[in-house]
Amino acid sequence: MVASLFGCALIIAAGLLAGSSGRQQPKVTAIDEELSDAELFHRLRQFHGHIGPYAVLGYRLGRWLLDKLGCGKYFGAYITVTGPGITPYTCLLDGLQLSTGHTLGKRNLTLNVIADRGKEPLFQIEAVAEAGGKVLCLNVPLAVTELFAEWMSQELTEEQILHQTLSWPQEELWQEVS
């Protein structure tokens, strides 16, 4: 009896919570405020489980992409990533999901796996704004794999990897293509 009452209370509480959060989610949500390194470290680790350069790159690239497209988080664009389908490269997708809110589950983020690794570019990313249809294409050069492999061989801490990936010259990490 106690258990069933408790169960009932839980259902009511869940209903209240659902009601208070509202069923209608906003269609456009502004990009998050820029996080401090420490906050990003915490959030990325919580989401992805560890800090690696590809995840941080995906995070940074995702912020840039939404900003450049001028669209909001979660629903503003359709993002297609073409590249290798294995880790650590695919860690990029988790960083992208965290910063853009565009996800594999919502199908507004898609991974096209190419089997031919070692081919230039490493990743090709296309993003189309849902409103207006503005298109943005960028390449992550293959040289990034050597750069990140070098960092890994230096046995940098996760904090150092995060900081280095965030502060590295952008043009060495990705280039916009027309």
Quick check: 52 binds Zn ion (CB under 5 A)?
Answer: yes
DSSP assignments along 18-75, one per residue: HHHH-S---S-BPPPPPPPHHHHHHHHHHHHSS--HHHHHHHHHHHHHHHHHT--BTT
Quick check: 58 binds Zn ion (CB under 5 A)?
Answer: no
Q: Which residue is nearest to Zn ion (CB)?
A: 91
Q: Interface mask (CB under 5 A) for Zn ion, residues 86-125, using x and -?
A: -----x----------------------------------
Report, in Å, the least distance between residue 78 CB and Zn ion: 24
Place of tokens 């965030």: 166
Report, in Å, the least distance between residue 112 CB and Zn ion: 20
Report, in Å, the least distance between residue 91 CB and Zn ion: 3
Report, in Å, the least distance between residue 132 CB and Zn ion: 33
Nearest CB to Zn ion, comparing residues 88 and 141: 88
- Name, in order, each residue with C-beta under 8 angstroms of 161's C-beta and a sequence gap of 6 or more: 51, 52, 53, 56, 151
Nearest CB to Zn ion, comparing residues 131 and 156: 156
- Name, in order, each residue with C-beta under 8 angstroms of 138's C-beta and a sequence gap of 6 or more: 61, 65, 124, 125, 174, 175, 176, 177
Quick check: 72 binds Zn ion (CB under 5 A)?
Answer: no
First-residue to last-residue Cα distance in the chain? 67
Nearest CB to Zn ion, comparing residues 55 and 129: 55
3-state secondary structure of 174: coil
Where on the chain is the footprint of Zn ion (CB under 5 A)?
52, 55, 91
